[in-house]
């Protein structure tokens, strides 16, 4: 399964990349929204897109909005992975029909892996209906 992590924190990108690679994922990382768009425009089609909200320049919600408008990853499961637990951020993300929302500060990498697998399976199951 292909996964694209988008975050401005290189430590977190490395940590999640290692965890998901060890569990059979093909992982690409993007240090910010512009980098993510470049990777997608170059042809990488993720099955799962994990996106932080707060990043310099274009934030994660604006990135998802751009991806949706341009139909760049039509089959990807999109999950917000962020420390932003504020309702405004959740509301903005839900308006874009994201598939899940994980709070980094309260979730260790193995729990993120489990949650990503759960959200992916649930999303794909509901798409078949």
The model carries a pTM of 0.91
pLDDT in tens, the chain (129 residues): 999 999 999 999 999 999 999 999 999 999 999 999 999 999 999 999 999 988 899 999 999 999 999 999 999 999 998 876 666 777 777 788 899 988 888 888 999 999 999 999 998 777 665
CA–CA separation, 89 and 62 (whole Å)? 11
Q: Which helix (H) or strand (E) holds 101?
A: strand 100-103
Contact 28, 46 (CB under 8 A): yes
CATH class of 2-128: alpha beta
CA–CA separation, 30 and 35 (whole Å)? 5
Nearest Cα neighbor of 86 from 116, 51, 54 is: 54
């Amino acid at each position: 399964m292909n996964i694209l992590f988008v975050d401005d924190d290189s430590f977190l990108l490395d940590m999640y990349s290692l965890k998901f690679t060890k569990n059979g994922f093909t992982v690409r990382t993007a240090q910010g929204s512009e980098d993510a768009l470049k990777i997608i425009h170059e042809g990488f089609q993720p099955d799962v897109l994990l996106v932080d909200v707060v990043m310099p320049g274009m934030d994660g919600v604006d990135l998802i909005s751009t991806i949706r408008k341009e139909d760049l990853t039509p089959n990807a499961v999109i999950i917000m992975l962020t420390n932003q637990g504020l309702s405004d951020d959740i509301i903005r993300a839900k308006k874009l029909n994201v598939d899940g929302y994980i709070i980094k500060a309260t979730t260790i990498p193995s729990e993120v892996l489990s949650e990503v697998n759960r959200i992916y399976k649930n999303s794909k199951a509901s798409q078949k209906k």
